Amino acid sequence: MTSRGSRKKKGSRTVNLLLTILLAALAAVGVAGWMILVPYGRQSEAIVDIAPGSSAVLIARQLEEAGVIRSRYAFDGMRLFERGTLRAGEYRFSQPLPLIEVYERIARGDVFTIALTVPEGANCFDVAARVQAAGFGSSQAFLEAVVSQAGLVADLDPGAKSLEGYLFPDTYRFSPKASPDEILPVMVRRFRSAAAQLGLRENVHDVVTLASLVERETAVRGERPLVASVYVNRLKKKMPLMADPAVIYGLELKGLWRGSLYQSDLDRDTAYNTYLHPGLPPGPIDNPGIPSLRAAMQPAETDYLYFVAAGDNPQGRSLFSDTLDQHTRNVDGYRRALKRSGGR
């Protein structure tokens, strides 16, 4: 009896031990699931800047100290289980998240970025102002880099004095700490991609310069080949281009632009004054998009030598002519329409 009772007690202890182990395991799984799957974090924004070369232990500590995760040890366990690579960069957490989502964001490098949009026809001064407004440093530092980094397009435009014309219009996303030296190569690479798409390989300097004039003269896409044809025809006849946007750009370079174009500006001798100097201006005056680049590469076949730009015409379209008399009538008509619209 004693032997049989002893065996019963041993069996009962074994069952109890197994139940205890099972319950402990279930509790551990429950805690692990809670640590991993239940959102945690501050309601306010948390910023964690992970430096290159940071160890996983350091990253876990940063996240815990920033209040993004409950436990650094749980994060370490997740890393050991996933065996992933954690990526450096600035991460922003604006709401409580499960630990697994925090881990996955860092593993895939989902860093915080700021959008920077370069519209078609923006020149380097416009882009520099946007760079400063986005928090990427001063506009002056950007303008200096636009000149100092001209070598980025040396193979395309050996004579380029700056990157004007090659800061391709697009929306970019950069790290908040991005410098002009990091931003500019991205824009130039985007230009190269667009040039390859268009088959632009030769005479890049002249094509981009002509496209930059076309870009500033009309926002009407269908008119761009016509505007390009006017300039090409005037170049063939060795007539001055008389392009106001080029004059304005020359004034901007010298800090003399007053917001409106005056007769005294047209008489001022700058390298970009296409009233005084024949041929194309020394280089691009803005950063043209694909439609203007295509128009410069494939201008329409016309006899037009003059136009009233769409931007100046209350009717919203450019007026083209092949004689000075017709152009004069178009200008008079534009002035009458402008007066009727309440302009001067």
CATH number at residue 54: 3.30.1490.480
| Residue range of the domain that includes 135 | 114-198
> Domain check: are 231 and 297 in the same one?
yes
Last residue within a domain, chosen from 59, 87, 107: 107
> Domain check: are 279 and 251 in the same one?
yes
Residue 217 scores a pLDDT above 80: yes
Q: Taking all residues of the chain, what is their mean pLDDT, rounded to a whole number?
A: 88
* The pLDDT value given to residue 219: 85
- Does 179 reside within a domain? yes
Q: 204: which DSSP letter? A: H
> Domain check: are 59 and 133 in the same one?
no
> Domain check: are 137 and 218 in the same one?
no
- Does 38 reside within a domain? no
Lowest mean pLDDT across 3-12, 77-86, 154-163: 3-12
- Does 19 reside within a domain? no
Last residue within a domain, chosen from 135, 163, 198: 198
Mean pLDDT of 301-318: 77
* The pLDDT value given to residue 317: 81
- Does 291 reside within a domain? yes
Mean pLDDT of 275-295: 97
- Does 5 reside within a domain? no
By residue count, the chain amounts to 344
> Domain check: are 133 and 228 in the same one?
no
- Does 139 reside within a domain? yes
Residue position matching structure tokens 């380097």: 124
Torsion sign across C-alpha atoms 119, 124, 128, 129 = negative
> Domain check: are 214 and 304 in the same one?
yes
Last residue within a domain, chosen from 174, 198, 222: 198
The set of residues, in sequence order, having a beta carbon less than 8 Å from that of 57 and lying 6+ positions away, is 72, 76
> Domain check: are 172 and 70 in the same one?
no
> Domain check: are 159 and 236 in the same one?
no
> Contact, 75 vs 103, CB < 8 A?
yes
| Count: domains in the chain | 3
- Spell out a b/e string for 23-56, using b for 16 or more CB atoms within 10 Å of the CB, else e: eeeeeeeeeeeebbeeebbeeeebebbbeeebeb
| Rounded CA separation 219/229 (Å) | 16
> Within 10 Å of residue 156's Cβ, how many Cβ atoms?
18
- Cα distances (Å, whole numbers) of residue 76 to 50, 56, 83, 88, 104: 16, 7, 10, 16, 13
> Domain check: are 118 and 213 in the same one?
no
Mean pLDDT of 119-145: 97
The set of residues, in sequence order, having a beta carbon less than 8 Å from that of 162 and lying 6+ positions away, is 124, 146, 147, 150, 283
Residue 296 scores a pLDDT above 90: yes
> Domain check: are 103 and 125 in the same one?
no
> Contact, 86 vs 62, CB < 8 A?
no
- Does 31 reside within a domain? no
Helices (H), the chain: 2-37, 56-65, 72-82, 99-107, 124-133, 139-148, 180-198, 204-217, 224-236, 244-253, 263-267, 290-297, 324-340
- Does 208 reside within a domain? yes
> Contact, 288 vs 282, CB < 8 A?
no
> Domain check: are 253 and 154 in the same one?
no
The set of residues, in sequence order, having a beta carbon less than 8 Å from that of 331 and lying 6+ positions away, is 308
Closest CA to 70 of 32, 99, 104, 37: 99
> Domain check: are 328 and 243 in the same one?
yes
* The pLDDT value given to residue 24: 58
